[in-house]
Chain A
Amino acid sequence: MSLDELELELRRLRGVLAVGFQEADGLLLAELQAGPDAYPELARDATLIANQGAVGPVAVEVVRWGDRGNASRDTRLRLVEITNDPAAAEIHVRLALDADEGVGRASTGHGLLAPVEATVAAIRVFLPDLRFVAGWARLVETTPDRRFLVVASVTDPDTQEHRRGAAEGASPIAAASRATLAALNRTIAPDLAPLL
């Protein structure tokens, strides 16, 4: 199946508005933007099609938009800022859910894992029972215009369940934090909804 055919098959799924691809380190990332008429099993169907159609490993992310263009995104945590505290050798990640904010901290000594840890810690401000912990982060591409693509992984230590996300950023740290949100936002959305 060519990339055109794969994209067309994905666009045929009800509710799909846009399909984009990004390839990094042998992994094809397919992003689907879905409108309000998308159905609950869209992610499953898209993953099946993508795995049948892609030559190598493929990951699918579905971004859902509601009736007013923002319903599903409302239940997503938003990265507000990332700051450093050199005196404490810490990185601080500030996330927002609607008007509420939470800050997570991690030691800068942990390298690129630090923004993942700080992001997970910030998520715990909203969801103290979050079962995922930081796993790893890897810089997979630096674009000619100095954008950084990072893949981050989080793990449930009890079930060994992994969630991986990829994101771009102006720095590897910003990309790693966004990738962590990409890995978890869909999973935690149902738990965040009652907080709104």
Chain B
Amino acid sequence: MPEPTTTLVNGTLVTGTLVDTARLGSGLGSVYRALDLVVDGYGLDDAALVVDVPGLGRQVLHAGRRPIGDDTAHLHDAADGLYTEPPIDEPVVQELLLALGAIALRYDARPEPGVGAGIDPGAQGVA
């Protein structure tokens, strides 16, 4: 598992674990942190989450916020789920990621989105 990062946020040193991001940051930031955790923890080349939520519709989140480009994995057309390269046979992880993605994006998609209200403990340069 990756070492938690420590970042200066609003003058305070914050340890940027996934839990910290979920507590203080945005839904999007939490999902990306979780994808990074899965990629690093399982030694993967890549990971993406496809999730359908009210308010935003079907969304594809690619680890590292990287562009999908030519989308050779056909993520734009994929069913909800966690897609990794190489594939992992971890149904619990996949379901947890999917649930996190759904609730995180629902949170962000509210009329008063959570993105602006929270701080991202892992984000650099947040003041």
Listed stretches A17-25, A43-51, A81-89, A125-133; interface member: A17-25
Given contacts A3-B123, A4-B26, A4-B120, contact A17 B76 (CB under 8 A): yes
Q: Pick the contact of B115 from A5, A17, A18, A21 — CB < 8 Å? A: A5
Please, which residues of chain A bring their CB within 8 A of the CB of B108? 4, 8
B77 within 8 A of A: yes
Looking at the assembled complex, report how far the CB atom of B31 sits from the nearest CB atom of chain A, in whole angstroms.
Answer: 10
Majority secondary structure, A binding face: strand
CA distance A4 to B25 in the complex (A): 9
What is the size, in residues, of chain B's interface with A at 8 Å between Cβ atoms? 29
Listed stretches A28-36, A101-109, A153-161, A186-194; interface member: A28-36
- A residues touching B (Cβ–Cβ < 8 Å)? 2-5, 7-8, 11-12, 17-22, 29, 31, 33, 35, 61, 63, 65, 69, 167-168
**Contact (Cβ within 8 A) A33 B28:** no
Please, which residues of chain B bring their CB within 8 A of the CB of A5? 26, 113, 115-116
- B residues touching A (Cβ–Cβ < 8 Å)? 25-26, 28-29, 56-62, 65-69, 71, 74-77, 108-109, 113, 115-116, 120, 123, 126
**Contact (Cβ within 8 A) B68 A18:** yes
Total number of residue pairs linking A and B with CB closer than 8 Å: 77
Given contacts A18-B59, A18-B68, A20-B62, contact A2 B76 (CB under 8 A): no
Given contacts A3-B65, A18-B61, contact A8 B77 (CB under 8 A): no
Closest to A37 in B: B57
**Contact (Cβ within 8 A) B67 A21:** yes
CA distance A193 to B61 in the complex (A): 30
Given contacts A3-B65, A4-B26, contact A35 B120 (CB under 8 A): no
